[in-house]
Amino acid sequence: MYEKKAERFGKTGKGRIDVFWPGTLLAEHKSAGQDLDAAFEQATDYFAGLSEEELPRYVVVSDFRSFRLHDLDEGSVTQFALAELPKHIACPLRCVTSCYALFGGRLSNSKNLKKQ
């Protein structure tokens, strides 16, 4: 899903998860140069509004220049620059590549994205 409405822990009202595949992936995108730690905190704040079945294994944060893939099951973090994306195509579920397609719009047609 693209821009899923969700509650945020400790915040009033709802926010929007940039990209969400229930049970698999939650992605938060920021403008170039923005703090990816803050993006990760925002992404995990959304967990409060999700059911146990919807909680993701992966959280991806990006500022279009760099990506961080958090594997919550393994407790690992992989970070790399956009230029290194081809080296990481074999990432689990190819989720980073999919997020690049969704965020960058160069690899996918935004008409195919479901907005909720």
Q: What is the pLDDT of residues 30-44, one digit of tens each?
A: 999 999 999 999 999
Q: What is the pLDDT of residues 39-88, one digit of tens each?
A: 999 999 889 888 999 999 999 999 989 999 999 999 999 999 988 877 77
Q: What gap in Å lies between CA 65 and CA 80, rounded to an integer?
A: 9
CATH architecture of 2-110: Alpha-Beta Complex (3.90)
Q: What gap in Å lies between CA 46 and CA 57, rounded to an integer?
A: 14
Greatest CA span in the chain, whole angstroms? 40
Domain ranges of the chain: 2-110
Count CB neighbours of 11 within 10 A: 13
Q: Enter the pTM of the model.
A: 0.70
